[in-house]
């Protein structure tokens, strides 16, 4: 028993000596080089202004380019201001055919190639009939989403993804009961009452 305790004490002292040696021999300039002088008020204000310019919705929409292979970029439009994204939405969905009030609040815009639901000025829901029946991973790609694999809820008439990529619900409507191909996709950025 005494030998075991003595061995632990020797190991403890060896570790302490090693750490002392490492810290004693460390280059003090290394620590000093890592410390930056405090920023002035002008520098902080300039950094904040530059950061705001990079992330304001107007700047994000001004530089938007639809990705190659995407039919309607629902992932990009969901949650955005309709007013700021209107030109891009109409370029991808076509002209507005009908506008109607929704009983739960907000309004719904029916386009030539899809439907939007707005909560105030925010795009809450996008529904897109696909040009042809496709498998669900391809359907997600056509709407700007990455493919999902095992996250789907499989119902008889649709597949569902919940809380994926910042969207509350993604519904992929099947061609027929139990079919693997889908013909229409509906994405909800947030549910009614959340926006």
* 35, 116: one domain: no
CA distance 182 to 172: 6
* 87, 173: one domain: yes
Q: Could you tell me if residue 96 is inside a domain? A: yes
* 159, 93: one domain: yes
Average pLDDT for the chain = 82
Domain boundaries, position 11: 2-55
Of the chain, the end-to-end C-alpha distance in Å amounts to 68
The token pair at 39 is: 């920023």
Which residue, 189, 186, 132, 141, is CA-closest to 165? 189
Q: Could you tell me if residue 60 is inside a domain? A: no
Average pLDDT over residues 40-58: 61
Q: Could you tell me if residue 64 is inside a domain? A: no
How many domains are there within the chain?
A: 2
* 80, 50: one domain: no
Q: Could you tell me the pLDDT band of residue 191, with boundaries at 50, 70 and 90?
A: confident
* 144, 77: one domain: yes
| Residue 86 confidence (pLDDT) above 90 | yes
Buried b (16+ CB within 10 A) or exposed e, 43-66: eeeeeeeeeeeeeeeeeebeeeee
* 34, 100: one domain: no
pLDDT (tens digit, 9 = 90+) per residue, 180-190? 999 999 999 98
Q: Could you tell me if residue 77 is inside a domain? A: yes
Sign of CA dihedral 79, 83, 84, 86: positive
Q: Give the Å distances, CA to CA, from 123 to 58, 115, 143.
A: 15, 10, 15
Q: Could you tell me if residue 195 is inside a domain? A: no
* 145, 50: one domain: no
pLDDT (tens digit, 9 = 90+) per residue, 133-177? 999 999 999 999 998 766 888 899 999 999 999 999 999 999 999
* 41, 108: one domain: no
* 91, 184: one domain: yes
């Amino acid at each position: 028993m005494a030998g075991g305790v003595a061995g632990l004490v020797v190991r403890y002292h060896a570790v302490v000596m090693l750490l002392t040696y490492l810290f004693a021999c460390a280059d003090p300039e290394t620590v000093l080089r890592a410390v930056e002088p405090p920023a002035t008020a002008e520098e902080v204000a300039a950094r904040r202004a530059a950061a705001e310019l990079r992330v304001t919705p107007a700047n994000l929409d001004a530089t938007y380019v639809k990705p190659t292979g995407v039919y309607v970029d629902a992932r990009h439009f969901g949650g955005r201001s309709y007013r700021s994204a209107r030109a891009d939405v109409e370029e991808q969905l076509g002209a507005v055919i009908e506008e109607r009030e929704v009983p739960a609040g907000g309004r719904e815009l029916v386009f030539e190639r899809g439907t939007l639901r707005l909560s105030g000025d925010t795009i809450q829901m996008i529904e897109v009939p696909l040009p042809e029946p496709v498998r669900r991973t391809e359907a997600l790609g056509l709407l700007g989403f990455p493919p999902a694999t095992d996250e789907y809820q499989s119902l008889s008439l649709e597949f569902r993804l919940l809380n994926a990529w910042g969207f509350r619900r993604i519904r992929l409507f099947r061609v027929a009961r139990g079919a693997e191909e889908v013909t229409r996709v509906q994405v909800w950025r947030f549910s009614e009452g959340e926006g």
